[in-house]
């Protein structure tokens, strides 16, 4: 059964512009951030929202979490209409925004957590159990007594995640949670999220521009552009549909290798520095690979899928083309 | 132009700010009217009721020329943005002065409708100055702006040495407004206290210009006042320059 | 209710720790309060050097009224002003109000109590001291019944002032940044320091009903000095409830209108 169900959600932002030099003239400027979006998400799913800047991902997340009202449409999250902000509903959700802090800037982390304990009315035993678990998993014991303003971005994000999970929410909305983090911090957060999704069965809705987050965490992705849904399904299927070919990278040590590479069969070939790159459809893969292994050392060959970023770009370009034709 | 647009980005905020300052006038208007009528006196320290009301009317206008909220030097030093001014091919202080004057001009322009409203509402009690006194008043007002700026620049320059001065600026500007006659005519003060206030240069910011408008100061005294204002301005600016020069050597350009 | 008190306690505790680490800020702010009091006392002395009574109140009664009004303002400022100022200047503008909306608590209360300022309470102690001085120096006789009604009306006055502050802040939902309304509140608070008889009847009516800022301090202090009037006792409770409902209602409308900000 769907834990999140949204149908025909639209959100317009209207701005009143007064004329210059005639101050009495005014016109309304309307921007549609979300346009007739419908989705269904089941309990325990880990769904990634993708789209370029200004696509409407965060706006949609804010509608589902009840922060803003939609212009049109209906939604049902955990049996509640989100924007009515029923306290029982709010106790079951959490939101983490990578570019903002919800914790009190001047308070040590533990005091913010203690306050959230009161806000969410978390029983003391449960609170300590969850807190101890988070502290262990995220390795943040020394951060508890540090004030938020004295923490690095990675440390702050760990505290934000801890704060979000203290009350065992059923749904967590994550808006670019790894933005600005170094590779190690981002990795530890992804590991944490995967673990939480597995052990606590909470539903995670994630927006991110980092393909690493999406590839590692999300089986299902929803792609949004100009407020509209352009894809909703499996990430693997998305790659199969829009980028069915494989990419073969060959390390070219010398001029001889480059000559051999030039004679290989295959239309999509290019050399970048000392790497030769061929893109081959799956039907021709066997033949091409066989020829490559005949000419090059096996340890100098890498066969991989097309990068997710490029797949997404193709999705947008295809959509733009079809919009232009219409 | 930038400061104009910046202020108008939040138009309602600014307009309500001006309206809030009108309340200052109407509170004192009600208070002094009650005092004069209930006591039956026609003059307090040579101020009739209409002169007292006019005093507050003019002071409310002069507050629009108070540069303390328009000067940003201290903030830019404290948050490190002063670096941007230093690396540009211009004089950072001169730019700050120009910026401050822009803000003051805008503040005054937006206040004019409210000024007219106050005048219409209380016109029976507001004296209109003679043209000559009006000219003297405007010149004195301009000099008072320079005097105030040169004084507050010293406090701003202390940012180099002692850090954020915002709290101190609020405190000092409040004291200055009191010493300058921003809350009541200095003539109302008892003898000994009045002497102290008259010795300080702050009376030139509110009390003196307002009394020039009211025609209470003879032309010879006006010219003497101008001389004193110029001397005080030079003194304050010299102190500021010394504090600034020593401070700029310590400046590290890091934000808070 | 207990939940909010517990949250409040945590915030107060940390505000105390934070403020005590920067004594300069406390000193500066308390000095400002004391200076304001000194300037106003000088001003009152000037007024009363020309008259013996102001709207029927003598110097010490007016001094008490002024000091009591300052106590109400200081308590409100210490408790709520920090949070409300943050709301008016930053929370809506930057979209940080999102996090207040997502919590299972009343967002209006959470915003209000989020940034207490301990130095205002220190200033309030001085102002209470001046109240006692005014009673002692003015030889003002106060009966027990008057005192009890005074406490009752003061309680409502304190809450009423809070709701009036909310009403000056709530337009931020529509205008994004509107700190000037808090400045307006500060200006209007100055009318609290004078007996209501100072103002012309029409203005007095507005300041007692439409925006009952005068009722906050004047009614309790009147009840302390003069025989209690039942209409004042009932009126202040009613007006506080009305403005509480109004403040809440407009806040909820503002919540519906809220459109967050770009992240």
B122-153 pLDDT, tens digit per residue, is 888 998 889 999 999 999 999 999 999 999 99
Residues of chain C with C-beta less than 8 angstroms from the C-beta of A60: none
Put simply, the answer to whether A69 touches C256 (Cβ < 8 Å) is yes
Percentage of chain B exceeding pLDDT 70: 90
Contacts made by residues A183-190, CB under 8 angstroms, sequence distance 24+: A185/A153, A185/A154, A185/A157, A185/A158, A186/A210, A186/A212, A186/A213, A188/A138, A188/A139, A189/A157, A189/A158, A189/A161, A190/A216, A190/A217
A68: nearest CB among C3, C103, C259:
C259
Nearest Cα residue in chain B from C31:
B171
Residue C68 CB-half CA count within 13 A? 32
Q: Is the pLDDT at A209 greater than 90, yes or no?
A: no
pLDDT at B86: 67
Mutation target vs A (from C98, C108, C118, C173; most A CBs, 10 A cutoff): C98
Nearest Cα residue in chain A from C9:
A115
Q: In terms of domains, do A139 and A262 share one? A: no
Distance CA A58, CA C208 (A): 46
Query: Percent helix, strand, coil in chain A (nearest 5)?
Result: 40, 30, 30
Cβ-proximal residues to C149 (8 Å cutoff; 6+ apart), any chain: C223, C224, C228, C233
Distance CA B111, CA C150 (A): 41
Domains of chain B: total: 1
Cβ-proximal residues to C112 (8 Å cutoff; 6+ apart), any chain: C79, C80, C83, C84, C162, C166
Choosing from A223, A240, A257, the residue where a domain stops is: A240
Let me know if residue A29 belongs to a domain. no
Between A230 and C132, whose confidence is greater?
C132
* C12 lies within 8 A of chain A by CB: no
Q: In terms of domains, do A142 and A230 share one? A: yes
Distance CA C112, CA C167 (A): 12
Q: For residue A43, give its domain range.
A: 2-10+37-240
Let me know if residue B11 belongs to a domain. yes
Residues of chain B with C-beta less than 8 angstroms from the C-beta of C19: none
The CA–CA distances, whole Å, from C30 to A11, C105, C123, C126, C131 equal 48, 33, 6, 9, 17
pLDDT at B11: 65
Distance CA C165, CA C247 (A): 9
Put simply, the answer to whether B23 touches C181 (Cβ < 8 Å) is no
Strand order in the sheet with A2-18: A26-42, A2-18, A72-77
Nearest Cα residue in chain C from B43:
C50
Q: In terms of domains, do A188 and A291 share one? A: no
B-proximal residues of C, 2-41, CB under 8 Å: 24-25, 28-29, 31-32, 35-36, 39
Let me know if residue B255 belongs to a domain. no
Q: Distance from C182 to chain A by nearest Cα, in Å? A: 23
Q: In terms of domains, do A291 and A188 share one? A: no
Tell me the per-residue pLDDT of C75-101, one tens digit each, with 9 for 90 and over: 999 999 888 888 877 888 888 899 999
How wide is the angle at C-alpha A213 spanned by C-alphas A207 and A219, nearest 5°? 85
Specify the residue for token string 């911090």.
Answer: A185
- Please report how the helices C118-137 and C59-76 are oriented relative to each other, as an axis angle in degrees rounded to 10: 160
pLDDT at B90: 66
Q: In terms of domains, do A202 and A59 share one? A: yes
B30: nearest CB among C179, C180, C198:
C198
Residues in chain C with pLDDT values less than 50: none
Structure tokens at B86: 């230093």
Tell me the pairing of strands B47-48 and B43-44.
Answer: antiparallel
Put simply, the answer to whether C203 touches B184 (Cβ < 8 Å) is no
Place B95 in a pLDDT band, splitting at 50, 70 and 90.
confident
Nearest Cα residue in chain A from C174:
A15
Mutation target vs B (from C36, C42, C49, C193; most B CBs, 10 A cutoff): C42
For residue B158, report the phi and psi dihedrals to the nearest 5 degrees: -65, -20
Let me know if residue B207 belongs to a domain. yes
Let me know if residue B256 belongs to a domain. no
Structure tokens at A88: 């029982």
Cα A107 off chain centre by: 29
* C46 lies within 8 A of chain B by CB: yes
Tell me the pairing of strands A203-207 and A171-175.
Answer: parallel
Structure tokens at C115: 């940034």
Put simply, the answer to whether C183 touches B188 (Cβ < 8 Å) is no
Tell me the per-residue pLDDT of A142-174, one tens digit each, with 9 for 90 and over: 889 888 877 888 888 889 989 999 999 999 999
Q: How many residue pairs from chains B and C have C-beta atoms closer than 8 A? A: 91
Q: What is the CATH number of the domain that holds A130?
A: 3.40.50.300
Tell me the pairing of strands A2-18 and A72-77.
Answer: antiparallel
Choosing from A240, A260, A287, the residue where a domain stops is: A240
Let me know if residue A15 belongs to a domain. no
**Three-state DSSP class for A179?**
coil
pLDDT at B256: 47
Q: Is the pLDDT at A193 greater than 70, yes or no?
A: yes
**Three-state DSSP class for B40?**
coil
Strand order in the sheet with A301-305: A268-272, A275-280, A246-251, A301-305
Place A248 in a pLDDT band, splitting at 50, 70 and 90.
confident
pLDDT at A28: 73
Structure tokens at A302: 């890498």
Residues of chain A with C-beta less than 8 angstroms from the C-beta of C105: 87, 119
Q: Is the pLDDT at A254 greater than 70, yes or no?
A: yes
**Three-state DSSP class for A30?**
strand
H or E element in which residue C216 lies:
helix C213-225
The CA–CA distances, whole Å, from B40 to B34, B44, C46 equal 10, 11, 16
Q: Distance from B188 to chain C by nearest Cα, in Å? A: 7
Q: In terms of domains, do A136 and A47 share one? A: yes
**Domains in chain C: boundaries:** 2-257
Q: In terms of domains, do A151 and A88 share one? A: yes
Mutation target vs C (from A49, A78, A116, A118; most C CBs, 10 A cutoff): A118
Distance CA B49, CA B152 (A): 33
* A85 lies within 8 A of chain C by CB: yes
Nearest Cα residue in chain C from A121:
C3
Put simply, the answer to whether A97 touches C14 (Cβ < 8 Å) is no
Contacts made by residues C15-19, CB under 8 angstroms, sequence distance 24+: C15/C115, C15/C116, C15/C117, C15/C118, C16/C118, C18/A106, C19/C117, C19/C118, C19/C119
Distance CA B141, CA B153 (A): 18
* C202 lies within 8 A of chain B by CB: no
Put simply, the answer to whether C14 touches A119 (Cβ < 8 Å) is no
Let me know if residue B157 belongs to a domain. yes
Mean pLDDT on A206-233: 87
Mean pLDDT on B157-167: 82
The subunits that touch chain A, with at least 3 C-beta pairs less than 8 Å apart, are C
Percentage of chain A exceeding pLDDT 70: 95
B19: nearest CB among C55, C175, C184:
C184
* Burial of C100 (C-beta count, 10 Å sphere; 0-12/13-18/19+): buried
Q: Check the CA dihedral A57-A61-A62-A64 and report its sign.
A: positive
Specify the residue for token string 């505790």.
Answer: C13
Q: In terms of domains, do A224 and A257 share one? A: no
Peptide bond into A21 cis (omega under 30): yes
* Burial of B191 (C-beta count, 10 Å sphere; 0-12/13-18/19+): exposed
Q: For residue B183, give its domain range.
A: 2-250
The CA–CA distances, whole Å, from B7 to A20, B1, B12, B48, B68 equal 16, 10, 10, 39, 16
**Three-state DSSP class for A53?**
coil
pLDDT at A326: 64
Domains of chain A: total: 2
Put simply, the answer to whether B13 touches C175 (Cβ < 8 Å) is yes
* Burial of A286 (C-beta count, 10 Å sphere; 0-12/13-18/19+): exposed
Residues of chain C with C-beta less than 8 angstroms from the C-beta of B23: 184, 187-188, 190-191
H or E element in which residue A99 lies:
none
The CA–CA distances, whole Å, from C124 to A245, C17, C76, C121 equal 75, 19, 10, 5
Residues C227-262: b if buried by 16+ CB within 10 A, e if exposed: ebeeebbebbbebbeebeeebbebbeebbeebbbee
Let me know if residue B131 belongs to a domain. yes
Q: Is the pLDDT at A275 greater than 50, yes or no?
A: yes
Mean pLDDT on B229-235: 96
Tell me the per-residue pLDDT of B28-83, one tens digit each, with 9 for 90 and over: 999 999 999 888 888 888 999 999 999 999 998 999 898 888 888 888 887 777 77
C6: nearest CB among A65, A66, A118:
A118
How wide is the angle at C-alpha C86 spanned by C-alphas A96 and A105, nearest 5°? 50
Specify the residue for token string 């006591």.
Answer: B39
Distance CA B44, CA B194 (A): 15
Let me know if residue B202 belongs to a domain. yes
B14: nearest CB among C47, C180, C188:
C180
Between B89 and B133, whose confidence is greater?
B133
Distance CA A159, CA C97 (A): 19
Q: In terms of domains, do A146 and A259 share one? A: no
Q: Is the predicted ipTM greater than 0.95, yes or no?
A: no
Q: In terms of domains, do A236 and A144 share one? A: yes
Let me know if residue A31 belongs to a domain. no
Q: Are A75 and A239 in contact (CB under 8 A)?
A: no
pLDDT at A288: 85
Distance CA B30, CA B41 (A): 16
């Amino acid at each position: 059964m769907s834990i999140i169900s949204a149908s025909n959600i639209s959100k317009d932002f209207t701005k009143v512009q007064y004329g210059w030099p005639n101050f009495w003239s005014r016109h309304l400027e309307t921007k549609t951030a979300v346009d007739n979006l419908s989705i269904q998400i089941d309990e325990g799913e880990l769904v990634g929202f993708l789209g370029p800047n200004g696509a409407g991902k965060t706006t949609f997340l804010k509608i589902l979490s009840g922060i803003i009202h939609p212009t049109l449409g209906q939604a049902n999250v955990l049996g509640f209409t989100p924007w009515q902000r029923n306290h029982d509903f709010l106790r079951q959700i959490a939101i983490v925004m990578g570019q903002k802090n919800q914790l009190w800037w001047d308070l040590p982390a533990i005091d913010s957590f203690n306050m959230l304990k009161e806000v969410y009315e978390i029983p003391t035993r449960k609170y300590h159990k969850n807190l101890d678990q988070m502290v262990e998993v995220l390795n943040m014991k020394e951060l508890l007594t540090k004030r938020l303003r004295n923490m690095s971005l990675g440390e702050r994000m760990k505290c934000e995640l801890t704060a979000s999970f203290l009350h065992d929410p059923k749904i967590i909305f994550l808006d670019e949670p790894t933005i600005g983090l170094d590779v190690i911090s981002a990795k530890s957060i992804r590991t944490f999220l995967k673990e939480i999704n597995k052990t606590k069965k909470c539903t995670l809705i994630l927006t991110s521009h980092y393909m690493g987050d999406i590839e590692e965490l999300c089986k299902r992705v929803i792609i949004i552009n100009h407020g509209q849904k352009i894809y909703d399904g499996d990430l693997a299927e998305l790659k199969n549909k829009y980028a069915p070919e494989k990419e073969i990278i060959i390390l070219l040590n010398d001029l001889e290798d480059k000559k051999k590479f030039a004679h290989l069969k295959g239309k999509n070939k290019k050399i970048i520095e000392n790497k030769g790159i061929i893109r081959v459809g799956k039907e021709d893969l066997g033949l091409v690979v066989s020829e490559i292994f005949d000419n090059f050392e096996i340890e100098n060959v890498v066969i991989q899928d097309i990068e997710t970023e490029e797949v997404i770009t193709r999705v947008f370009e295809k959509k733009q083309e079809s919009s232009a034709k219409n | 132009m930038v400061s104009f647009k910046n202020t108008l980005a939040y138009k309602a905020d600014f307009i309500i700010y001006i309206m809030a300052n009108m309340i200052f006038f109407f509170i004192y208007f009600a208070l002094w009217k009650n005092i004069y009528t209930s006591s039956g006196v026609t003059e307090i320290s040579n101020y009739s009721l209409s002169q007292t009301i006019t005093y507050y009317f003019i002071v409310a206008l002069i507050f629009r020329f108070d540069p303390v909220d328009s000067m940003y030097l201290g903030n830019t030093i404290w948050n490190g943005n002063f670096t941007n001014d230093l690396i540009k091919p211009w004089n950072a202080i001169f730019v700050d002065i120009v910026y401050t004057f822009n803000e003051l001009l805008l503040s005054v322009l937006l206040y004019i409708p409210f000024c007219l409203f106050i005048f219409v509402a209380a016109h029976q009690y507001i004296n209109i100055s003679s043209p000559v006194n009006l000219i003297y008043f405007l010149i004195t007002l301009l000099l008072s702006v320079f005097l105030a700026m040169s004084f507050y620049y010293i406090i701003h320059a202390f940012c180099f040495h002692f850090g954020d001065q915002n709290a101190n600026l609020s405190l000092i500007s409040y004291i200055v407004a009191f010493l300058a006659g921003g809350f009541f005519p200095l003539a109302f003060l008892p003898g000994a206290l009045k002497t102290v206030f008259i010795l300080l240069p702050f009376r030139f910011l509110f009390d003196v210009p307002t009394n020039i408008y009211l025609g209470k100061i003879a032309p010879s005294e006006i010219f003497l006042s101008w001389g004193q204002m110029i001397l005080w301005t030079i003194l304050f600016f010299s102190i500021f320059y010394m504090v600034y020069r020593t401070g700029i050597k310590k400046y590290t350009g890091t934000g808070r | 209710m207990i939940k909010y008190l517990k949250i409040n306690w945590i915030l107060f505790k940390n505000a105390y720790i934070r403020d005590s680490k920067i004594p300069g800020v406390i000193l500066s702010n308390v000095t400002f309060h004391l200076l304001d009091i000194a300037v106003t006392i000088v001003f009152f002395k000037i007024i009363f050097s020309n008259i013996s009574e102001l709207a029927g109140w003598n110097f010490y009664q007016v001094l008490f009224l002024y000091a009591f009004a300052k106590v109400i303002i200081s308590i409100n400022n210490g408790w709520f002003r920090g949070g409300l100022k943050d709301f008016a200047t930053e929370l809506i503008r930057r979209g940080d109000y999102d996090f207040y909306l997502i919590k299972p608590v009343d967002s209006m209360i959470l915003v209000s109590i989020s940034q207490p300022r301990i130095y205002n309470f220190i200033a309030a102690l001085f102002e209470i001291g001046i109240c006692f001085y005014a009673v002692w120096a003015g030889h003002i006789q106060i009966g027990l019944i008057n005192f009890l009604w005074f406490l009752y009306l003061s309680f409502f006055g304190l809450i009423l002032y809070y709701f009036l502050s909310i009403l000056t802040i709530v337009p931020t939902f529509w205008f994004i940044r509107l700190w000037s309304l808090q400045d307006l509140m500060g200006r209007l608070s100055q009318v609290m320091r004078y007996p209501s008889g100072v103002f012309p009847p029409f203005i007095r009516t507005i300041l007692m009903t439409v925006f009952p800022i005068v009722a906050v301090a004047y009614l309790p202090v009147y009840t302390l000095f003069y025989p209690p009037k039942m209409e004042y006792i009932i009126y202040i409770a009613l007006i506080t409830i009305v403005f509480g409902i109004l403040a809440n209602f407009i806040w909820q409308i503002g919540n519906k209108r809220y459109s967050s900000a770009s992240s």
